[in-house]
Structure 1
Amino acid sequence: MHDKVLLIDGNSIMNRAYYGLPLLSNSEGVYTNAVLGFLNIILKAIKDEEATHIGVAFDLKAPTFRHEKYKEYKGNRKGMPDELRMQMPIIKDVLKAMDISIFEMEGYEADDVLGTLAHQCEKIGVDTTVLSGDRDLLQLATKHIKISIPKTKKGSTTIENYFEADVLERYGVTPTEFIDLKGLMGDSSDNIPGVPGIGEKTAIKIIATYHSIEEAYRHIDQLKPPRAAKNLEEHYDLALLSKELATICVDCDVCFDKDSLKIDNIYNEATYKLFKQLEFKRLLEKFEGMEEDSYVEDLLTEHLIETKEALDQLVSQLQQVHKFAYYILTEGMDMIGISIAYNENEAYFIKCQESMDDAFCMAQLKDIFESHDLQKMTHGLKEDLHLFNRYKIEPKSIVFDTFVGAYTVNPTRDTYGIDDIANDYLKVMLPSQDELLGKGKSRISYRAIEPQQLLTYACHLSSIIYRSYDLMHAAIEEYGMHELFYNIEMPLIQVLYDMEYYGIKVDSVLLHDYADKLKVMIDLLESEIYELADETFNIKSPKQLGVILFEKLKLPVIKKTKTGYSTAAEVLEKLKGEHPIIDKISEYRQLTKLKSTYADGLFDYIGKEDSRIHSSFQQTIAATGRISSTEPNLQNIPIRMEMGREIRKVFVPEDDYIFIDADYSQIELRLLAHLAEDETLINAFNEGQDIHRLTASQVFHVPFDEVSSLERSNAKAVNFGIVYGIGAFSLSQDLHITRKEAQEYIQNYFKKYPSVKIYLDNCIRYAKNRGYSLTMLQRRRPIPELASSNFMQRSFGERVAMNTPIQGSAADVIKIAMINVSNKLKSENLRSRLILQVHDELLIEAHRDEVELVKQYLVEEMENAVQISVKMKVDVNIGMTWYDTK
């Protein structure tokens, strides 16, 4: 085998790699996309070229001889992005580990080093390939020196190869004449001036005729066109300077030793460690005999769909398959495009643009999305349903949502982005949206991304959904969560979408009145607080409030912070009774929060056209499986205080409709009785006894009929506290009793309900042994805290282990009820609709003609959501405002 030298333009290829791959980082936050892309390019080049020797040249930051001749040289270049600059030392470390020679020379550019090395290789009769994205290097091409330029077109990278004859064919000039061409036309990227008014076409004609700038100048009288002749005559010195700046030096004082370039053992232990650290999973497969690694890097064929013909062809292909994954890439209301994958090796990105806008693309795909026979997978179906509604599409057979699937498999993660799924299931690195676009003020649009980078990113979205589907489905089956996912979590998406779509009506006049009422109460409280403090101050300032309470009024200091006295809610709670100002401050805080969050805050969310608030309902937030409400949070309205409850008065039904509110009665305690198999509790619930009065009787040794309201209230705190794994300290705080008394309450509770104690202990034991807890419907919650050496962490884990099976089962039950109620209303073609869920409560906006029917369906569906040993009980109320239903 004959020798073949491969020379790499380091800066150029790093730059191309950086923009060619999405911005990736390893788990330590080190950016790696340029390094990975660079390695992929050069390793492929080594293989394709059958190279035996390799060298990489880099630019140094110091000025070169060109800067000395022309200070403005490269003066208009933007600085290297920080994310790329950080990767330059890394690639050099990697190359050193791979024993690949690196060349850098002060006063010269990488081009000059490459030119010199290529020239010396030619002298000793060795064929050479120079790999660079810079066409300036075409001047180096000869019969034995090939210039290879990577070129990206329509999503795929090809290599343009130029020997001497190829340059002449492509540009009409020889490689040496290419320098003169640059001298005449200049180069804006390097800030080489050239001759004003002479562009590429004119320059090619002149050099093709006269072969050099000097010869053209000698024939200035015959030179055409006349304007070019005039400009060359006036700017001849500039032309010669430009030619000099464009000329690559081929005789630098580079220490050349061909043997030092020999490719030998690039996959060594040092390289392996670096690749492992950088998390280059696929590249690790190249290391034979070293530690095996299950990670893979992507080799995905990308297709850009930007013509109607190509889209028609893709639609035809989709009609022939059984399933495909899609992802609709949006930015606000702007649809960027649609990513589609129907096999593991390739993906398509339909780019929305003027010639093929979002409405057109969705119209072309309408039959595909509405096909019963074609199974579809996506990520974030609920958001898709809003989009489909916009384009009048009624989707069918969307069988899997990887967003909800990933949450179901592991509900304790902070995020469930496609990048998380790529890493967790496929061991593929993909940037998150924030990594790709940036955050805050520096965030850019998808449309501002380099086209190849967007194509790569977009194609990966659907490909990852497609490829992770089988793995995620297998995990769901392995964990016994088939029913939970396919019969609860997936159908729930439609229910939550419907709730978001309908929203809930707000009476703006009532909301204004409520805000005014709050303001009056806040102003009055403010005056009373100032009077009690005997001065005015900023009540909202913890620092100023601390001075008033602990210095002026001499109240006992409970807790200090770095900046002074703590005035947190728990501190005020401990100070209750010490001074009348404390209650006033607590009430002031509650009312100001009510005003800012709800009285004032809700106005921003009221729809101008329908006067309704369309909250977002999230099913992937809480580890227990509970649904969350955001923007605004309608589940967090403070109902313990009357003014908090009054906010519900502003929520009203549509004309001819009425609110029906159905609330599970003590669902968690009923589930505890069932799960613990406690006969006393089961019988009490099934016989309709007052469970809190029963507990008070049992715990405080008082006859059932003689339990006082305070004893019942305390027993209620014990009942619910037990569900949450409450300790004596917390219970004593809640009930304002001593820790000893609280401990006695808990011990007496467990004496009377021994099965509950056994059950809770078993919950902890099970979770410690398995590392997770389970609900009735096999919802799994990992509890790594149980294995912690930290006592506080471990105690937290034990509380979670006790609570999750109960609270998580309650969440499962309410979800089943929501699905069944919603389906019943639809199947009976009723106008009534489910519009809100708050923990154990469902709110229906019922048509007046359907009230009795809806009440009947609510009770039937909610009380029979699951079959357990305890009767489920639902309280149903109607009203003309949400407030009236409670």
Structure 2
Amino acid sequence: MIAVINSPIILVDASCYIYRAYYAFPPLITSNGTPVWVIYGVINMIRSLLIRYQPTHMAVVFDAPGKTFRDNLFEKYKANRFKTPEDLYIQIGPLCEIIEAMGLPILRVPDVEADDVIGTLAISCARSGNSVLISTGDKDMAQIVSSQITLLNTMSNIIFTPKEIEKKFGVPPTLMADYLALIGDRSDNIPGVPGVGKKTAQLLLNKIGNLKVLYDHLDKISTLGLRGARAIQNALQVNKEIAFLSYKLTTIKTDISLNIFDYQLLIQQENINVLSLLFTQYEFKNWLIDLKLGKWLDKYRFLKNMPSNQWFHNMSLCKKNNLLSDYSGEKKIVKIIHNAEMLYHWVNKINIAKFFIFSIYTDIFNVATANIVGICLSIDTKESAYIPIKNNSINNHQSFLCLEEILSTLRPVLENSKIKKVGQHLKFSYAIFRRYNINLVGMAYDVILELYILYGTVNCQDIKKFLDKDTFDAVTNFKKNYDSYNENNAILDVQNMQIQSLHAAKFVMSLFNLHHALWSKIEANNKLKKIFEEIEMPLISILSRIESYGVLIDKKLLNAHAVELDYRLNALELEAYRLVGAPFNLDSIKQLQEILYNKQKLPILKKTPSGAPSTNEEVLKKLAKKYPIPKILLQYRSLAKLKSTYTNKLISMINTQSNRVHTSYNQTRTSTGRLSSTNPNLQNIPNRNHDGRKIRQAFIAPADFLIVAADYSQIELRIMAHLSQDIKLINDFLSEKDVHTATASEIFVTALHLVTDEQRQQAKTINFGLIYGMSAFGLARQLSVTCKEAQNYVNRYFKRYPGIMQYMQYIREHVNKHGYVSTLDGRKLYLPDIYSTNILRKKSAERAAINAPMQGSAADIIKKAMISVDNWLQRDAIPARIIMQVHDELVFEVHHDIVNSVVKQIKKLMEECFIIDVPLKVDIGVGKNWEQAH
């Protein structure tokens, strides 16, 4: 029995930590070649737990080698897991040595899985009246969550109580083992019941009962209104034995024999000498410095041992001394602002400096609902000020300021365009301040955008080859502190305010260092500086306003379309059942493999990496030419994806008050400079088929307004004409010929007026395919012709446009030499795979390099168009606004009284915002909805 203690007992799933560190952390190797990144990652995560929760009792639980009772129950249990990689395995021993030297109990029970050890301990501790926190990413543990047992997801740092478990999985913890038994678990190779997915399992368990009750009342399934109810009932009957076997495999044992007393879970004093030897051996230099300075777990001991009534006293001492140490032991001045006088003092300092860096802390990363819980300010790299927010962070303690007073005092500097601001993800900060009626201006430098302008989306290891050591250190330090910032972002209470202020200070200092390192490089390149100052930074406020305003949606129309899709999906299912002669799950790859290849005896055209016959789209398209079932499957998948990805997703994301959806645009996610759209993604809604157009019909204009869609015509081909300086292609555009018809005329050796629609479509495929670097083999597949015919088309194409061939050759040479290509404005687009030793990846990078300057230039042009048009709309207070950006298209809401004049001006601004050797052309449509206007 474990005695009742005040702090939570923490149980760590070591395997989860180890594999997270192995796959998530960049490889770290000592000077003699020993891998140590797993050790580094796991210990960092454990230190974070210690600092965050200050436990007195804890256990790090490892899996014991050898088989367990589950292996005896089911021979294929975890059979699909790979053997532990050698470079991971050799780190486990040293990791255990460090954990033990830290004074943390390690548990490893022979013939018993770590899950069962954790489950037994958790239940035993909870029965003794203790609260238990299990740190794991394993969903199996959700079944033992209760009012006293919570989970900490190691990937997201989200705490799961019974309420959160039910919200995430759709069933309460008491039904989690039953739920996993029905749906199976691919990671552990638990079979589950074929044909029963997540939604079905949730409905069955919530409406009928647990697995045993469900099997006693299978006849009730027909009363639930499930699609394919009879097939589900049959699947359950046929697979009853498998279902109960899966239940045994998924159920955490909570009654294993453990002789664990409370003193065995008590955290002991760390062994400094052993830690010093291990840190020296494995070259953890920063940790060694911390250890020698007495800072290894100093913050943890400080918080753990300090009575709560002493905290404010010690805090006041910190305020007097104005000194806090960061992890390296370097002294930084960090002032915690707790009264109006201190805040006014900092505002005066900012007014004098005309420059400051800031970072906002919020409880969640959601513009619409986030609450500001802290703000950090700095004007140099030596001193910063942290402002905790009363009501949010410290339980209304009287010595701190409320948000209204803080923002009222900061408003003059935030709204002063002459005071330059530095930050990261400033679009988020801009939107948060707008919610409080503050117009953030003077946004001069966004460090994330600086990094993106210089090195694109490549990660730190990829860009190391492009960076000098000082800048690389600044980047990695920023990333380290950024991760730390996010990890601790929402952890705010009285007992860790000092830690929070330290994290905030470290973060803004790393922002400062990285800004100076990156800006010196951008400033030295006039083209990059111009892109940053004239394109990327001005877009921040424009994109934020577009996101905030949103797009009006006809919910009734979308719901009607969803019902229609359900009807058609049902019809396809029934037709598939008829062809096969029995019901089956069209979403189950395993069942499809059985039906297509074992029962229907269709030819196996391709296999998966595991050796199973493939059922992917490419294979099904080939099979559909001769066989009916693959054709049905393709139609089913297309409709199901449309319904889940667009129709259902859009419906679920409509704001109930405004009937609008609010997407989020990201400036730094693509390698070519294009904007991306998420939550929901509005940029990939199909427009070439009936169902995609039905969805676009739901994007409507409000009363007295119309939708205007302005789309650049053949912009990438026009850019290719400019880049390649091919005389023939330039003349085709200057003479306003239809480029695809002209190409068809040359390739198919026929007069312009005799070119058929099919020939024009093929020429269009060739035009766009080749500028995307497509090979003759790829073209043959696209056009459904032989490789010889495709090669003849390619030869004729380049004979017609020799300048394009020369340009492509130049690009290949340039990217192989420099590792990047450039847009017309000079934006660098990096392709790190060009240095890959894998020939396929290298060739893929070469093909991408051919199109990247065109796609990247088109992205720069549409961004300039957005800025030009938005400036006009804002300056002249026109009753019109941009509501979407979709690749080469801008979509507007325009008041119907002025639509003709606005269309004319939009066309003018978009066509004149960028000058190349052939004219840019914009096609504009108008309608009551997006589909009409397109």
TM-score of the aligned structures, taking structure 2 as reference length = 0.65
Aligned-residue offset at 1:620: 0.6
* Structure 1 residues 543 and 803: CA distance shift in structure 2, 3 A: same
- Which residue does the alignment assign to 1:359? 404
Number of the residue aligned with 1:459: 505
Deviations 1:230-267 (A, max 9, x none): xxxxxxxxxxxxxxxxxxxxxxxxxxxxxxxxxxxxxx
Report the more deviating stretch, 544-553 or 668-677.
Answer: 544-553
Residue in structure 2 matched with residue 328 of structure 1 by the alignment: 360
1:428 matched to 2:465: no
Structure 2 CA distance for aligned equivalents of residues 154 and 423 of structure 1: 37
SS in 1 for 2:665: strand
Shift in Å at residue 97 of structure 1? 10
Three-state SS of the structure 1 residue aligned to 2:334 is: strand
Q: CA deviation at 1:414?
A: 5.3
- Displacement of 1:302 in angstroms is 1.5
> Which secondary structure state, in structure 1, belongs to the residue aligned with residue 926 of structure 2?
strand
SS of residue in 2 equivalent to 1:673? helix
SS of residue in 2 equivalent to 1:617: strand
* Per-residue deviation, 1:528: 1.7
Q: Is the 8 A contact 2:362 2:490 kept in 1?
A: no
Within a 5 Å distance, the mapping from 1:643-658 to structure 2 comes to 643-658=691-706
Amino acid at match of 2:415: E
Q: Does 1:539 align with 2:586?
A: yes
Instruction: Using the TM superposition, give the Cα deviation of residue 583 of structure 1 relative to its aligned residue in structure 2, in angstroms.
Output: 2.0
CA displacement at 1:743 relative to structure 2: 1.9
Q: Which moved more, 1:727-736 or 1:421-430?
A: 421-430
Query: Would you say the 8 A contact 1:342–1:466 is kept in 2?
Result: no
Check conservation: 1:25, 1:431, Cα contact below 8 A.
no
The corresponding residue for 1:93 is 278
Q: Is the 8 A contact 2:821 2:853 kept in 1?
A: yes
In 2, Cα distance between equivalents of 1:791 and 1:811: 29
The residue that corresponds to 1:549 in the other structure is: 596
2:745 alignment counterpart? 697
- Pair 1:469-2:506 in alignment: no
Give the match for residue 346 of structure 1: 383
Aligned partner of 2:345 among 308, 313, 318: 313
- Taking the TM superposition and a 5 Å limit, the aligned residue runs for 1:186-585 are 299-332=331-364, 333-353=370-390, 354=396, 355-413=400-458, 424-425=473-474, 428=477, 431=480, 445-447=491-493, 450-479=496-525, 480-561=527-608, 562=610, 564-585=612-633
Query: Aligned in 2, Cα 1:449/1:791: closer, same or farther, shift over 3 Å?
Result: farther
Question: Cα distance, 1:423 vs. partner?
Answer: 5.9
Query: Relative to structure 1, is the Cα distance of residues 473 and 807 closer, same or farther in structure 2, using a 3 angstrom cutoff?
Result: same
In structure 2, what is the Cα distance between the partners aligned to 1:77 and 1:509? 62
Q: What is the match of residue 179 of structure 1?
A: none
> Are the equivalent residues in 1 in contact too, given 2:745–2:755 (CA < 8 A)?
yes
Residue of structure 1 in register with 2:393 after alignment: none
Q: Distance in 2 between matches of 1:87 and 1:687?
A: 80
Match of 2:790 among 742, 747, 757: 742
> Any residues of structure 2 matched to 1:772-787 within 5 Å, and which?
772-787=820-835
Q: Determine if contact 2:777/2:787 at 8 Å carries over to the other structure.
A: yes
Q: What is the CA–CA distance in structure 2 between the aligned matches of 1:363 and 1:78, rounded to whole Å?
A: 50
Distance 2:706 2:301 in 1: 69
- Output one character per residue of 1:593-635: Cα deviation in whole Å (capped at 9) or x when no partner: 1111222221221111111001001111001000100000011
Q: Distance in 2 between matches of 1:460 and 1:481?
A: 28
Q: 1:399 to 1:581 in 2, by over 3 A?
A: same
1:78 CA drift (Å): 6.9
Superposition deviation, residue 760 in structure 1: 0.9
Is the Cα–Cα contact under 8 Å of residues 347 and 460 in structure 1 kept in the other structure?
A: no
Greater mean deviation of Cα atoms: 697-706 or 85-94: 85-94
Check 1:463–1:879 CA distance in 2 against 1; reply closer, same or farther (3 A cut).
Answer: same
1:685-731 C-alpha deviation (Å, 9 max, x unpaired) = 12111111111111222222211221111111110011211112211
Equivalent residues in 2 for 1:40-189, closer than 5 Å: 80=267, 90-94=275-279
CA contact (8 A) 2:443 2:537 kept: no
The count of residues paired between Structure 1 and Structure 2 equals: 655
Residues 481 and 715 of structure 1, relative CA distance in 2, 3 Å threshold: same
Residue matched to 1:725: 773
SS in 1 for 2:477: coil
Between 1:530-539 and 1:756-765, the stretch displaced more is 530-539
Aligned-pair distance for 1:86? 12
Name the aligned partner's letter for residue 382 of structure 1: K
Instruction: Flag the 1:339–1:282 CA change in 2: closer, same or farther, 3 A.
Output: closer
Q: Which of 839, 842, 859 is the matching residue for 1:794?
A: 842
Q: In the alignment, which residue of structure 2 is the partner of 1:675?
A: 723
**1:564 deviation in Å?**
3.0
The alignment partner of 2:573 has SS state of helix
Q: CA deviation at 1:551?
A: 2.1
Counterpart among 811, 834, 851 of residue 763 in structure 1: 811
Amino acid corresponding to residue 879 of structure 1 in structure 2: G
Give the corresponding residue for 1:817: 865
- Secondary structure in structure 1 of the residue aligned to 2:353: coil
**Distance in 2, Cα, partners of 1:559 & 1:853:** 57
| 1:631 paired to 2:694 | no
Q: 1:152 to 1:530 in 2, by over 3 A?
A: same
TM-score by length of 1: 0.68
Distance of aligned partners of 1:412 and 1:95 in 2 relative to their CA distance in 1, 3 Å threshold: closer
Q: Secondary structure at the match of 1:651?
A: coil
Unpaired runs of 5+ residues, structure 1, are 1-22, 38-56, 64-73, 101-113, 115-129, 138-149, 161-280, 284-296
**SS of the residue 2:624 aligns to:** coil
Larger radius of gyration: 1
Partner of 2:905: 857
Aligned partners of 2:471 and 2:517 also within 8 Å: no
CA distance in 1, matches of 2:333, 2:778: 59
The answer to whether the Cα contact below 8 Å between 2:485 and 2:504 also exists between their aligned partners in 1 is no
After superposition, the CA RMSD in angstroms is 3.9
Give SS of 1:400's match: strand
| Cα deviation, residue 402, structure 1 | 1.0
Evaluate the alpha carbon distance shift between residue 766 and residue 77 of structure 1 in structure 2; reply closer, same or farther with a 3 A threshold.
Answer: same
Partner amino acid, structure 2, of 1:465: L
Q: Give the % identical residues.
A: 32
**How far apart, in 2, do the equivalents of 1:132 and 1:494 lie?**
41
**Separation of aligned partners in 1, 2:452 and 2:929:** 35
Q: CA-to-partner distance for each residue in 1:83-110, whole Å, 9 max, x for gaps?
A: x989995433346899x9xxxxxxxxxx
Mark the CA change 1:570 to 1:435 in structure 2 (over 3 Å): closer, same or farther.
farther
Distance 1:689 1:806 in 2: 21
Q: Which residue of 1 aligns with 2:887?
A: 839
Structure 2: gaps (5+ residues): 1-20, 29-36, 49-99, 107-260, 286-293, 306-312, 365-369, 391-395, 462-466
Change (3 A) 1:135 1:590: closer
1:150-193 per-residue CA deviation (whole Å, 9 max, x = no partner) reads 97766579799xxxxxxxxxxxxxxxxxxxxxxxxxxxxxxxxx
Q: How far, CA to CA, are the matches of 1:757 and 1:330 in structure 2?
A: 53
Partner of 2:638: 590
